[in-house]
Every structure is written in C-alpha cells, then in structure tokens.
Amino acid sequence: MKLVVGLGNPGRRYEETRHNVGFIVVGELARKYSASGLKTRFQGGTAEIVVDGEKILLLTPTTYMNLSGASVLAARDFYKIPQEDILVVCDDLNLPLARLRVRAAGSAGGQKGLEDIIRRLGTDEFARLRIGIGAPPDGWSWPDFVLSKFAKEEIPAMEQAVARAIEAAVVWTREGVQVCMNRYNGKE
C-alpha cells in the first residue's frame, strides 16, 4: 500500500484557500478513482483507491496544517508503510502560481506542515509534491496570504495545476519519484 497525504486545514473557513491545495488534490484524486472506505481515523479523513492494481490510502489530516505529522505517523505506523511509499501534497508560496515541484526528500522549505511531518517521522526521506501558490503581494503577510482564496483570474491556472498534480501522483505511484520529477518539475 502507498500513502498519499494532502495537507490543509479542516473546516469551511479554509475551503478553497491557497493553504488547502493539498486537500483539493487528494479530494479530486478520490473522486477520479471512485474512492471507497471513507472514514475518519488517524486524526484525519481517509479513503482508499486502486490505481493499476496498487492500493493507495488517501489521507487529509484534520489536525490543522502545523500538526499534520501526528496523522501521517499514525497512518504510516498502522499500515507499516515504507518511507519511499509516502507522497505528501502541499502548497508552496516560494513557487510561482500553478508550478509543480516534486522531490524525493529534503527540507521543509518553510512549509510548516512538512516541517511537522519531518519532525514526527524522524526523517525527510519521503516524496513531496509542492504546488506553487505564488508569493504574497506587497503589504500582505504570508499567513494572511496562504489563508486567502485564489483570485478569480488565478482559478483557471490552479485548476490546471490540480489536474497535473493528480497526474503526477499517479505517475509517482506507477513509475516512481524519479520519473515523476523528470516529467513534472519546472513545467507548467
């Protein structure tokens, strides 16, 4: 079994915000592959999909972004999922709007959800798929920016980014992180 985690914050207040791009991708992945077994466990929402015979657990932690590691750790340990079979999908304000970046491992790069996952798992050796949300405009604090909704003119680009992120997650499942990196990094 593989684990795909979408990071975000629970509750209506945060729906469709920049910080919830991970939730959006995992939700669309669940819809596209007719997820079954929708449950609340591991301090999050879970569902299972099957892609080319590979079972994938989808997880959206409901611990709020900065405490996502507890949920990921619980799911990983329950299913005994190896680090290389974990993919975390999250927003990145250091990337241009709608740009994808896949990495096999590495630092959190300022993303608090990733930071907590790294701390809880005790390693940064898991794949991550970052989706660019752009940088805050002049006069905006980064917390206010990441919790804001996308502007009307940004929505088409983000819809395409979500569709590409779903494709990237499937490629990661089928062909591994290196192929996924080669295919999706730096391309819009």
Q: Which sequence positions are flagged as catalytic?
A: 19
| CA separation for the pair 148, 126 (Å, rounded) | 28
Place of tokens 């241009």: 96
Structure tokens at 180: 């996924």
**Residue 81 CB partners (closer than 8 Å, separation 6+):** 1, 2, 3, 57, 75
Structure tokens at 29: 């992945």
Alpha helices in the chain (DSSP H): 21-32, 68-79, 112-121, 142-146, 155-175, 177-184
Nearest to 116 by CA among 74, 179, 157: 74
Q: How do 2-6 and 127-132 pair as beta strands?
A: unpaired
Nearest to 57 by CA among 71, 77, 75: 75
Determine whether 36 is exposed, middle or buried from the number of CB atoms within 10 Å of its CB (0-12, 13-18, 19+): exposed
